[in-house]
Structure formats: C-alpha cells, structure tokens
Amino acid sequence: MATYITGATQILSIWDGTDSYDPIACLQSNGLSSERDVNEVPLTKCDYDSATSSFANKDIVLGGKTETASFEGLTTETETGKNTYIQLKTLFDGGTLKTYKLSNVDGTNDLYFNGYITSLELNSPNEERSTFSGEVRTDKDGSSTTEPSTKY
C-alpha cells in the first residue's frame, strides 16, 4: 500500500553558506513545477507513406528544462535559523544565486537545486496577517535528488 506524503512535511530551505539548510519561515505552501521545451521535427513530402496513405510519426527533440519553485508564507520578525521575508528580499535585490532544498521532514525524497529568487511579493491587508510569496527559478541544471557538490 502506498505511503502518502502530506504537504505539511515538505519544506523549502536555503543553504546557509556554512553547514545547514535553513527553512523559509512560516511557510503555508510551496511547490515545484517542471517544464521541458519540445521541438517537433518538420515533416516533408518524403515522410509520406503511400502504403498507409499517411505521414510517418513526427519526431520530437527535447529541448531545455525549466523549473520554478513557488512559496507562500506568513511574514515574521527575524527568526534564528529561518529565512524571513527581509532575508529573501535581500537575496532578491542582490540577484544572489543560492542552493535550495525541497525536503520531507523525514529526510527522504529530497530535491536540490541552485537558483535565483525571480519574484517576491509582500501583502499586508488591514487587520490580517502579513504574507509573502515568491518564486525561485532553477539554474540550467534544474533539480536533482543529488546534493550539488558546489553549494551557494
């Protein structure tokens, strides 16, 4: 029987530059979307099969991979060992390449990637909690189950 993973156990963290991955503070949700460019090879009249009265199957060539991690959380004051909105804003403003880890709290099925924060939004509605959201675009290598040898 399958063991299901709940969203509460998956945490997006950032390499602290020395010895650990520190989570993004007070996450409400996070995810990872993956896309790959697909280039179809154009058919010519030479690809027509008179026996079947149709064109042969189109060939496709896989192009580059693009992955984006998204996150949403509650805005907090500075919190030791966690990345708050202010720390994320500093990374965004500096265009800083960092190493990220999307992991389960039990240490299984971890995904690692290097990337840049490409969007960051702060929402502060009246009489409600302040929230933030953003996206991290992975570098050309995308995500992997193997921790990168060079971490940023």
Encode pLDDT of 97-124 as tens digits. Answer: 999 999 987 777 899 999 999 999 999 9
Q: Any residues with CB less than 8 A from the CB of 99 and at least 6 apart, and which?
A: 14, 15, 21, 112, 113, 114, 148, 151, 152
pLDDT, residue 20, reads: 93
| Rounded CA separation 104/12 (Å) | 9
**Euclidean distance between the first and final Cα of the chain, in Å?**
39
C-alpha distances in angstroms, 127 versus 103, 120, 122, 130, 149?
33, 22, 15, 9, 45
pLDDT, residue 129, reads: 92
pLDDT, residue 61, reads: 80
| Rounded CA separation 133/71 (Å) | 5
pLDDT, residue 58, reads: 67
Residues in the chain where the model's pLDDT stays below 50: none
Per DSSP, what are the bridge partners of residue 28? none
